Amino acid sequence: MSLTRVILVRHGESVATVNRVLGGPRSCTGLSPLGERQADALRKRLEATQEIVPNVLYSSAYPRALETAQIIAPAFAGLEINVEPGFGEHDPGPQCDGMTYVDFMAKHGKPNWGGDPNAVFFPGGETIAQFHSRVATAFDKVVKEHFEKTIVVACHGGVVDAVIRRHLKTPQTGAFEMHTKNCSLTELVEIRAGHWALMRYNDHAHLQGLPVATNID
């Protein structure tokens, strides 16, 4: 019997990260030059190793995820990219989207990411609980539609965090922190109905030799 296999690919470094802004769905302008190089390094690895032969390729609707999917798609024989908005990053809402980190913290304070998942950090935006629920719905939908298939999803660090916390049955916040690298691979396999194994997390060996980030303080 084939197993359902899900590979989450965090997008490459984004322009929003370089500019230190909250890059939500309204203000995201895609990958930085380094982000494009990171995605291309992943493409080269996947073409050389053929370690992932997916049946389907998904992406969030954010330009930075879509551009990452477009760059790596040739490694998958040019699979069509299916856009699933449910795999988008934690949405800060229209009031905060595009604000610089400095301006946001000056106006609203530093969010307590390890606190109450129902707390409102972004006025008019998603709570952590709402975000995790949205990601879970998208994940379950895609897995149901592609049972016993290999699925690649170009997504975001927050999405990787949400998926892992859910399937390891850990709290939505606190307990531990995750620092998912740009263009890293995270893989889960459904070993039996409703039971998932985390096979790898944050695999970014292909980024060796590239700068860690455009902005290094």
Listed in sequence order, the residues at least 6 apart from 143 whose beta carbon sits closer than 8 Å to its beta carbon are: 4, 6, 151, 190
Residue 214 covered by a domain:
no
**Structure confidence at residue 78 (pLDDT):** 82
Residue 33 covered by a domain:
yes
* Tally of CB atoms within 10 A around 49: 10
Q: How many domains does the chain have?
A: 1
**Structure confidence at residue 1 (pLDDT):** 62
Residue 110 covered by a domain:
yes
Residue 216 covered by a domain:
no
pLDDT digits (tens, 9 = 90+) for 49-70: 999 999 999 999 999 999 999 9
Give the predicted TM-score (pTM) of the model. Answer: 0.96
pLDDT digits (tens, 9 = 90+) for 146-172: 999 999 999 999 999 999 999 999 999
pLDDT digits (tens, 9 = 90+) for 167-209: 999 999 987 889 999 999 999 999 998 899 999 999 999 999 9
Residue 170 covered by a domain:
yes
- For the packed helices 157-167 and 128-145, what is the interaxial angle rounded to 10 degrees? 80
| Rounded Cα gap, residues 126 and 132, in angstroms | 10
By residue range, what is the domain housing residue 115? 5-207
pLDDT digits (tens, 9 = 90+) for 78-135: 899 999 999 999 999 999 999 999 999 999 999 888 999 999 999 999 999 999 999 9
Residue 75 covered by a domain:
yes
Residue 44 covered by a domain:
yes
CATH of the domain at 15: 3.40.50.1240
pLDDT tops 90 at residue 12: yes
* Tally of CB atoms within 10 A around 116: 14
Of 108, 14, 27, the C-alpha closest to 68 is: 14
Which residue is it, tokens 């699933």? Answer: 84
- For the packed helices 33-49 and 63-72, what is the interaxial angle rounded to 10 degrees? 40
Half-sphere exposure of 46 (CA within 13 A, CB side): 26
One-letter amino acid identity for 50? Q
Residue 29 covered by a domain:
yes
Contact in structure between 30 and 14 (CB atoms under 8 Å): yes
